[in-house]
Structure 1
Amino acid sequence: MKHFVFLIDTGNETIEHKINASGMTDAVKRIKDIQKDLKKNDHTKLKIKFKGVIYGNAY
């Protein structure tokens, strides 16, 4: 399993999210769900940036 790392900039702070997914398509789907949840909490301007991939055997 891979960990896809995304940076979410809310304007006030930058949050790093690590998402366990089998591929990039699944990871993007999950980050979009997180984005919808954050927009519900009055974060109108969100910037999402892909940081990289951490492979399971990297630990």
Structure 2
Amino acid sequence: SKISITELYNKQKWQKAKQLRQEKLDGRIVKANNIQTKYIEKIQARIASARISMKYKIETLV
């Protein structure tokens, strides 16, 4: 079975478009993960700060 040049071109075009969509999606996933990581780090910093202040309050009471 012979493949026409048009079919080959369309297939390459489709594969390129698929690859670009995948790269875009990967970029979005990485961006979302970075935002999530920053948010988690911010919460961890708040928790650590709260622990330190609670520890200080308990030590000053005792």
Range into which the TM-score falls when normalised by the shorter chain? 0.3 to 0.5
Larger RCO (CA under 8 A, 6+ residues apart): 1
Higher relative helix content: 2
Structure with greater strand percent: 1
Structure 1-normalised TM-score? 0.34
